[in-house]
Chain A
């Protein structure tokens, strides 16, 4: 079995307990890091080429070096851990927080030392109640044991908003406002939380840091891909025999992930499509199974590794229905700040509904592509892009299926699609307040 760097030891021990974590050398990396000069620590993380695991793949070392040190800033700096995992298909941060909370906290504390900050905020999505309880207990235990030192760690619960996974929206939310993205620049390392220098990193990125400090750059770089060393927790879901989280070296192929670790497509069905990095990224077709799942290779193949959430789609799913289901999510989650995203997602839902119902025309098909073009790159954050990368790629990769809906005036699946009639939260019958409220 390949070496792990994130979930290490969690199968053998209850690493939610501080003593158990310490028995396998836990918080040793923190001690080592605190004995290092911050700039040397940053150099080490930079040399390890640790890229962000939350979606954008931004090099953590560069982010760290963008935060001004105490001599170049007039305000305190902050570490903000993005634990607002909300990308459909992604459930890795949840497992990390539930099973190795101390490793994640240790990563936060090492990052705090690197930017010489005394403040760590963990923004965890509101739905993750069980995970928040584990994390709260772990923070309390670490505080009690004096591990935190002079660093204050605050666990902040979100309240249900996909957009808060976007770093500037998260900061707005953490400041006590509606979670709407900010224009950039300034970027968070310069003006983030309370407009003060802020490092924002994903849970898994931070949880990867202790291994780098512990193993050293050379050994860490032996794992994974040349351009992106290390391991990553792939979230595998959809029509696959063994869904779940798999921590593997970066650059594992889709074929190995789905057919070796995931034991292949469920019920012996044929593979139709694979979404390689969460619902927002362009879809792959079965001829792309040999793509290595690392940042650069996936991008070269026309998609994004994103949060490394792989969704397997078998031949029973209608791609128009799937597009509609994905788009309703983005429509619901658009924060409403930028017109192209707010109005465009709504328009795409209407067009896709028309096509799925068999009322679509050739002009409607063209309009889907046009609307996608008019949303992409035209909003403050990437939510608008996400909303068109998925749908746009379904149209590009499965043009004949969309065309058949128009030509035949009906869904070719004739009610037999696996995602037939799936409702979305935006479809709920929301009536006015109840007449009587029980006491």
Chain B
């Protein structure tokens, strides 16, 4: 049994009905496939979960945090919902666009950074919220952006 299958079986055992483990299985598969879920990853999840690949894809495509397209080594996300918007989120978006050289929704040509918008990150009192590789940076001002980009590019 592969490590992945063993780990998924461990997840399944946590629930009265093992089907509940699919979200965890997809997350695990995504981590093992460079941050996204190619068809092969969905097949692996389906096999380990005893569900059809169609079901794995149906679940994966519903949630924003599963990537069905390749992503960069780092992911930068800016929240632009109301509370962040009211205190200058768009200026932060503009600063990242300038520093990274790509508009939101895209990945840099060297495959290093994916830049995208998210909402609402739940950091409204510490807005604007930026999330770098799943870690919140609150608040982030436009003037903080060059340092964050440098840190990502250097790391």
Q: Which residues from chain A sit less than 8 Å from chain B, CB to CB?
A: 76, 85-91, 94, 119, 125-130, 154, 156-162, 173-179, 194, 235-239, 243-245, 266, 275, 279, 309, 311-314, 317, 322, 325-326, 329, 332, 335, 418-425, 427-434, 436-438
Q: Is B5 an interface residue (CB 8 A)?
A: no
Task: Give the chain A neighbours of B62 by CB distance below 8 A.
Answer: 161, 178-179, 335
Binary CB contact string for chain B from 65 to 91 against chain A (1 if under 8 A, 0 otherwise): 110011001000000111101111110
Q: Is the interface of A mostly helix, strand, loop or mixed?
A: loop
Contact indicator A173/B124 (Cβ below 8 Å): no
Task: Give the chain B neighbours of A434 by CB distance below 8 A.
Answer: 69-70, 107, 111
Contact indicator B117/A428 (Cβ below 8 Å): yes
Alpha-carbon distance A152/B126, docked complex (angstroms): 35
Contact indicator A161/B134 (Cβ below 8 Å): no
A378 nearest CB across to chain B (Å): 22
Known: A88-B83, A421-B90. 17 other contacts (CB 8 A): A154-B14, A159-B66, A177-B19, A236-B125, A237-B86, A238-B86, A243-B126, A266-B87, A279-B120, A311-B82, A317-B86, A329-B81, A419-B86, A425-B116, A427-B104, A428-B116, A432-B69
Q: Is B101 an interface residue (CB 8 A)?
A: no
Give which listed residue, A128, A156, A419, contacts B122 with CB less than 8 A: A128
A439 nearest CB across to chain B (Å): 9
Task: Give the chain B neighbours of A91 by CB distance below 8 A.
Answer: 122-126
Contact indicator B125/A244 (Cβ below 8 Å): yes
Which residues of chain B from 114 to 145 have a CB within 8 Å of any chain A CB? 116-127, 131, 134-136
Best-buried of A89, A311, A422, A438 by chain B (most CB within 10 Å): A422
Question: Residue on A with the closest CB to B22?
Answer: A176
Binary CB contact string for chain B from 20 to 62 against chain A (1 if under 8 A, 0 otherwise): 1111101100000010000000000000000000000011001
Alpha-carbon distance A174/B24, docked complex (angstroms): 11
Could you name 19 residue pairs across A and B whose Cβ atoms are closer than 8 Å? A88-B124, A89-B82, A125-B122, A157-B23, A159-B26, A174-B20, A175-B20, A176-B20, A178-B62, A238-B82, A243-B127, A311-B86, A325-B80, A325-B82, A418-B86, A419-B85, A429-B105, A430-B105, A434-B69
Give which listed residue, B23, B83, B106, B120, contacts A238 with CB less than 8 A: B83
Contact indicator B124/A89 (Cβ below 8 Å): yes
Contact indicator A237/B127 (Cβ below 8 Å): yes
Task: Give the chain B neighbours of A430 by CB distance below 8 A.
Answer: 69, 105
Contact indicator B111/A178 (Cβ below 8 Å): no
Alpha-carbon distance A125/B65, docked complex (angstroms): 10
Task: Give the chain B neighbours of A244 by CB distance below 8 A.
Answer: 125-126
Contact indicator A88/B59 (Cβ below 8 Å): no
B155 nearest CB across to chain A (Å): 15
Contact indicator B63/A85 (Cβ below 8 Å): no
Contact indicator A88/B82 (Cβ below 8 Å): yes
B109 nearest CB across to chain A (Å): 9
Contact indicator B104/A90 (Cβ below 8 Å): no
Task: Give the chain A neighbours of B19 by CB distance below 8 A.
Answer: 175-177
Contact indicator B104/A429 (Cβ below 8 Å): yes
Contact indicator A87/B120 (Cβ below 8 Å): yes
B71 nearest CB across to chain A (Å): 9
Give which listed residue, A176, A237, A266, A437, contacts B59 with CB less than 8 A: A176
Contact indicator A127/B121 (Cβ below 8 Å): yes
Task: Give the chain A neighbours of B80 by CB distance below 8 A.
Answer: 325, 422-425
Contact indicator B93/A423 (Cβ below 8 Å): yes
Best-buried of A127, A130, A432 by chain B (most CB within 10 Å): A127
A298 nearest CB across to chain B (Å): 18
Give which listed residue, A129, A177, A326, contacts B82 with CB less than 8 A: A326
Question: Residue on B with the closest CB to A390?
Answer: B82
Contact indicator A313/B123 (Cβ below 8 Å): no
Query: Nearest 6 A-B pairs (CB), nearest first?
Result: A428-B105, A160-B64, A159-B63, A237-B124, A176-B19, A160-B65
Contact indicator B125/A88 (Cβ below 8 Å): no
Give which listed residue, B16, B122, B126, contacts A119 with CB less than 8 A: B16
Known: A86-B122, A87-B120, A91-B125. A238 touches B15 (CB 8 A): no
